[in-house]
Amino acid sequence: MIDNKLARKVFGSAFVATMVVPAMAFAQAAEGAAPVDYRVGVAKAIAAGASMSVSALAAGYAQAKIGSAGAGTLAERPEVATNIIVLQALPEIIALLGFVIAFMIGTA
């Protein structure tokens, strides 16, 4: 359960940026296939930027939370250090996916 307003906003924005914005950009690009409209380029740039930045923010937020909890766990149970490092690295995937989608938008 996400009980924090900021967390809801960040994850909501990340979802919109990674799912809706690229779709809109692709649709716009397909419609304007014949004469290349400069507005398509602007929309693609905005979508790619949003996808990358919001996903990076979301990954940062998740890593901050996991990091503080991980530090607490390590203070009491140093034997689980490997698990904590793996958990700490997991949210990087969010940023990576954002980057891939931004790249796809840019090259579409």
Partner 1 sequence: MSSTTTMKRVSPSKRDYGYCNARVRGMRSRLLKQAFMDGLMQAKDLGGIITSLMETEYAPELEERLLHGRSTGQIDLALKDNMVRTFRKVLSLVNDESLEVLGALLGRWDLFNIKTVIRGRHMSLSSEEITESMVAVAQLSQIDLDELSRQQSVKGVVDTLSTWKLPFAVPLRAAMPEYVESGNLAVLELALDKYYTEWAAKRLKGRGVNQRLSRRFLGTQIDTINLLTCFRLLNADLGDQDALRFFLPGGTFVTEALFRDLASMSDVDEVYDRLKRTPYGRPVEEVAIKYIESGSVSVFERALEDFLMRRAFAAGQGDPLGVGIIIGYLWMKANEVTNLRIIVKGVSVGMPMERMREELIVV
Residues at the contact surface with partner 1, assessed by CB under 8 A: 1, 3, 65-66, 68-73, 75-77
The CB-of-73 to partner 1 minimum distance in angstroms stands at 4
Cβ nearer to partner 1, comparing 62 with 101? 62
Q: How far is the CB of 7 from partner 1 (least distance, A)?
A: 10
Tokens of 56: 């990076």
Structure letter (DSSP) for residue 90: T
Write out 30-46 in H/E/C secondary structure: HHCCCCCCHHHHHHHHH
User: Using the 8-state DSSP alphabet, how is residue 1 labeled?
Assistant: -
CB of 89 to partner 1, least distance (A): 17
Nearer to partner 1, 71 or 96 (CB): 71
Q: Which is nearer to partner 1, 71 or 93 (CB)?
A: 71
CA 90 to mean position of chain CA atoms: 13
CB of 6 to partner 1, least distance (A): 11
**Burial of residue 6, with CB atoms counted within 10 A of its CB: 0-12 exposed, 13-18 middle, 19 or more buried:** exposed
